[in-house]
Structure 1
Amino acid sequence: MDGTSVDEVWYTLVQSMAEYGFDRVLYGVTHSRTGTFLGQSDDFLVLSNHPSDYLDAFIRTGAYVDAPMVKWAIDNVGVASWRHIQDRARAGDLSEAELRVIELNQRHGLIAGYSISFRNATVRTKGAIGLCAHKCSQDHVDSIWTSYGREIEMLCRLAHLKLTSLPSPAPSRPLTPRQREVLEWVGVGKTTQDIALLMGVTNATVEKHLRLAREALSVETTAQAVLKASVHNQIFLSGS
């Protein structure tokens, strides 16, 4: 999967999925998962080509937490047909909240698709992708998957690996080169005095860079800043 930025990788993935018939794609990854809680929304990376009115209703209101396939993705690793939703509906196994999400999707013509939940290196990370063939039947989508499912899954997994290795366009302000440098030195165990000597600046200047880095990352402690910058691939960058 080519691309040196999140935007480039995402564009390539969306174009590839459209060629297979999946014209609506929703990808999400969090690095702050605890159990069934996906963490703070500010730490999510969410990419989609769904219309903004649908994303407003599904993502920004928090309705996604009750989506049957999102719940499936949290608890599982692998691939699942959205027929899973039909099966649960017939069994009377859907909550009122889940039914409201299904009704929302139906109003937007989102009734058929596949979801892939990725295996990740840490328990705090969870990534998944939903592929939808807009206004198509599940029978049609299942036939696509029978023919090309392995290829589609491979492309999505490659994109996920690439996206999680690139600096995340998180809502936090980007770090400056000096802020990255001081966090990197902290990350390898250097003290404020050590860093001041290494960078040729005063202790006060180092403290200023650390304070601004904490503010940019919306965290309270330097340890939290190092962790957040690391999981969002904003420090220890090649060529930085």
Structure 2
Amino acid sequence: MLDHLEKILMTNDIEAIWTQHCRMMAQYGFDRLIYAFLPFRDAPGRDDVADALFLSNHDPDYLRCYLQNNSYLESPMVKWMMHNTGVRSWGDILRQMEQRTLTPEERARLEMNRAFGVTAGYSITFEDSSSRSTGGIGLCAERGLTQAEVDDIWSRHGRELMVLNSVLHLKISTMPLVTARRALTARQREVLEWVADGKTTADIALIMGLTVATVEKHLRRAREVLDVETTAQAVLKASMQKQLFQRNNHSGAIAPARQTGAAK
């Protein structure tokens, strides 16, 4: 396990980190995973999935159904994860199904999961230092394993699994992320960094050798890219996405919004 953790901590490529993690989870019987990280949450109830990072090695057909029209938000486990921190067995949802306490939409999501062999597993929501960010992962067990068998796996290896998944999240949450929105340009990042340092538009124009109008243009386009109304919001959001003040701010260190198809 130490070798695995060392690889995760020393790697700065999200695709490589994700592939390594999928391989490790498969050793415990969890061969299909979905990880989601929302580095910047707006006001309550206004979360935008365009700002989220999704990683998964599920079948592409399942992912298309799962993500289509954001219908996954009707999943009972996703609903739980949006309002709770910690770990939960999917057996709890099966019991709710038996007790007929789920909504028709929630039951429809479970039926879709069953059609794709997504029937047993565990979900984890991570506690972040910032109230503006949230992350979680769904660990789907191999086909053929019952929830009782998965609960037994967790009783024996739950502590290890929590550490491994928590390290994954901690690593990814410190890396620069580009989501479904287009990335900031180098100029847009630079002007936002100077704003974060307390410089005025006139100061930035002098420092960068630009006109005030050009600096204002870069700030306006940065706000558009980040889908915010003010420059202060742009600085906050770009900072929480780790897009500012990066030593190596190159495309190879930035992950696309929805990486799928990693090695199983």
TM-score by length of 2: 0.84
SS of match in other structure, 1:15: helix
Name the counterpart of 2:196.
187
1:165 aligned onto 2:183: no
Provide the rounded CA distance (Å) in 2 between the counterparts of 1:179 and 1:140: 51
Name the counterpart of 2:41.
32
Name the counterpart of 1:109.
117
Q: Percent identity?
A: 46
Please identify, of 63-72 and 202-211, the stretch whose mean Cα deviation from structure 2 is larger.
202-211
Name the counterpart of 2:18.
10
RMSD across aligned C-alpha pairs, in angstroms?
A: 1.8
SS of match in other structure, 1:62: helix
Name stretches of at least 5 consecutive residues in structure 1 with no aligned partner.
Answer: none
Q: Deviations for 1:161-183, whole angstroms, at most 9, x for unmatched residues? A: 11111111312222222221110
Provide the rounded CA distance (Å) in 1 between the counterparts of 2:248 and 2:47: 31
Correspondent of 2:157 among 142, 148, 156: 148
Q: Deviations for 1:100-139, whole angstroms, at most 9, x for unmatched residues? A: 0000000000000000011112222221100001322112
Contact 1:105 1:111 in 2 (8 A): yes
1:121 aligned onto 2:129: yes
Write out the 4+ residue segments of structure 1 that deviate beyond 3 Å after TM superposition.
Answer: 218-221
Provide the rounded CA distance (Å) in 2 between the counterparts of 1:95 and 1:233: 38
Structure 1 pair 54–174 and aligned structure 2 pair: CA distance change class (3 A): same
Correspondent of 1:69 among 77, 101, 117: 77
Correspondent of 1:84 among 74, 79, 92: 92
Structure 1 pair 212–123 and aligned structure 2 pair: CA distance change class (3 A): same
Aligned length: 239
SS of match in other structure, 1:61: helix
What's the offset of the Cα at 1:11? Answer: 1.7
What's the offset of the Cα at 1:89? Answer: 1.6
Q: Deviations for 1:9-32, whole angstroms, at most 9, x for unmatched residues? A: 222211211121111000112221
Q: Deviations for 1:182-234, whole angstroms, at most 9, x for unmatched residues? A: 10111222111011122233223322322332343344432332222112111
**Mapping of residues 152-231 of structure 1, within 5 Å:** 152-231=161-240
Q: Deviations for 1:62-94, whole angstroms, at most 9, x for unmatched residues? A: 221111111111222111111111121222211
SS of match in other structure, 1:167: coil
Name stretches of at least 5 consecutive residues in structure 2 with no aligned partner.
Answer: 1-7, 250-264
Q: Which amino acid aligns with 2:66?
A: F
